[in-house]
Structure 1
Amino acid sequence: MAPDRSDGAASCACKGIRRCLICEEVKGKGQLEAKEPKTVHYFLYNPETRLAVSKDAAAASFPFPGVFLWENFISEEEEENLITTMDQDVWNESQSGRRKQDFGPKVNFKKRKVRAGGFSGLPAPSQNLVLRMQQEPSLAGFQPVEQCNLDYHPQRGSAIDPHLDDSWLWGERLVTINMLSNTTLTMSLEQGLPKMGLAEEVRVAVRLPRRSLVVLYGEARHRWKHGIQREDVQARRVCSTYRELSAEFLPGGQQAELGAQLLNVASSFQGSPV
């Protein structure tokens, strides 16, 4: 297939409250503007101490478990080769100014149904990357069954709203490789941390250097929402997110047979975007 443009946008796939610069021009920014909470407490994640440090010294730092950052996970040459390979496939329009490529099973999360569909495996370049991930103790036994490539660009006003990834199908660890530019992953807890005297929303900024890998697990995976704000996309950014199966689809689970089939397809590393 002919490669799609990666530096602009002529159409919009936003639905509901989602938005990008294109739909803002059509509908008007004012109609789409979401109301921000009156008070937000801002913190910055320190990967060395694993603490969330207050940006304005108005609150004490606190432990922020569930984030693992691996800087320079890939080399400049690997990054270039990965992006070149991705751009040879079509980037499909997604919401909030993003474009995407999916490698994974067909899923209906509302009805809790999953099938292989057109899934033919993870892409070939990911095989060595997954082997490298598995060398990290916190990623021992990590066997991804889905890969989602996302393309962000400031010209499209790309972002992704705060959200929690599904935990019925997807397992404990969410793994993302950040490419082409630095960005910030914003972790948010709308109900705040009352025990710390923070009754309003709390946000923790996790800086993601170019070519780094980040893992979310535990509280950061299940309690804190994560997202990428528009202002944190200053240049083209491409990321690959890998997801493993939940216990329900692993040996001993109710859908272990289906899980084994999906893992067998995924591990062929001969896939093309679904």
Structure 2
Amino acid sequence: MAAPGAAVNTDMACACKGVRSCLLCEKHLTGAKQQEQAVHHFVFDAEEKRAVCRDGEASFILPGVFLWENFITAEEEEELVSHMDQSTWTLSQSGRRKQDFGPKVNFKKKKVRVGLFNGLPALSRWLVERMQQEQTLKDFAPVEQCNLDYRPERGAHIEPHLDDTWLWGERLVTVNMLSDTTLTLSLQQEEAELQVAVPLSRRSLLVLSGPARHTWKHSIQRAHISQRRVCSTFRELSAEFLPGGARAELGSQLLHTALTFTGAPP
């Protein structure tokens, strides 16, 4: 679906650091094998809002996962991805490529500034307006958009992690494009790990909030990228940057910039 003349990196470099790796750098890695721990596997039932054991004998309620199937049409998906492919993708960790639209952030020092940020991309205006038609997202005001490109030949994936809560707020919203995949929610317990597979269909929207946002780590496993996948993740501001918060003035400036929808990736 890439437009003619799309800017696509063809080099075989990677951007992995620390414990992160992809297929391009793993052949050079050495190290002791980690001891395996018992893992209990569940599948998320979107209608029942429950995680169901694969053998069907156990289940539990898992709050904070919302799925909107067919959030965009095939034509809209093609337009969105084509537009992304006309801009440059930069290398990211774990075999991914990315495009960032958001403020300049130093999470370690807890510093944020507008920097070169000039708003979310124009095509995202109608995406945000459509999200806001959902009752639970009617007041959703994103201040950052991150586009990610996953390709199986690079071993692209994202490790289990919790998104920052100092800057980013309650809801993480992702639009899944080009292929079906699975989001894995994981929770470490004393004797075993719980993993819940959340099926993400092509062109669906996912919202993580509550326990699914703050307690369960989320990831995309390499095994669940069988063909190219592109996603756009939108993040809102935390309470510290909203009216009444300690950094409300800066938050207002960031939000005003974001919602001009005149952005280009830096």
Aligned to 2:25: 23
In the superposition, the TM-score normalised over structure 2's length comes to: 0.95
Aligned to 1:94: 92
The one-letter amino acid of 2:8's match is R
**Kept after mapping to 1: 8 A contact 2:143/2:255:** yes
Aligned to 2:265: 273
**Kept after mapping to 2: 8 A contact 1:9/1:156:** no
Select 1:127's aligned residue among 112, 125, 128: 125
Aligned to 2:102: 104
Aligned to 2:52: 53
Aligned pairs (5 A) from 1:1-274? 3-5=6-8, 9-25=11-27, 27-28=28-29, 31=30, 35=34, 37-57=36-56, 60-191=58-189, 199-274=191-266
In the superposition, the TM-score normalised over structure 1's length comes to: 0.93
The one-letter amino acid of 1:17's match is V
Unaligned runs of 5+ in 2: none
The one-letter amino acid of 2:126's match is N
Secondary structure of 1:97's aligned partner: coil
Structure 1: how far apart are the matches of 2:166 and 2:142?
15
The one-letter amino acid of 1:14's match is C
Unaligned runs of 5+ in 1: 193-198
**Kept after mapping to 2: 8 A contact 1:51/1:62:** yes
Given the superposition, is the C-alpha separation of residues 181 and 9 from structure 1 closer, same or farther in structure 2, using an over 3 Å criterion?
farther
- Structure 1, residues 24-76: CA drift from partner, whole Å, max 9, x if none? 23x04xx268636320000000001011000134x510001100000000000
Taking every aligned residue pair, what percent have the same amino acid on both sides? 62
Aligned-residue CA RMSD in angstroms? 1.4
Secondary structure of 2:184's aligned partner: strand
Aligned to 1:196: none
Structure 1: how far apart are the matches of 2:46 and 2:35?
28
Given the superposition, is the C-alpha separation of residues 36 and 238 from structure 1 closer, same or farther in structure 2, using an over 3 Å criterion?
farther
**Kept after mapping to 1: 8 A contact 2:37/2:193:** no
Q: What is the total number of aligned residue pairs between the two structures?
A: 262
Secondary structure of 2:40's aligned partner: strand
- More helix per residue: 1
- Structure 1, residues 160-180: CA drift from partner, whole Å, max 9, x if none? 000000001000000000000
- Structure 1, residues 122-163: CA drift from partner, whole Å, max 9, x if none? 000000000000010111200000000000000000000000
- Structure 1, residues 59-115: CA drift from partner, whole Å, max 9, x if none? 510001100000000000000000000000000000000000000000001110000
**Kept after mapping to 2: 8 A contact 1:17/1:32:** no
Secondary structure of 2:84's aligned partner: helix
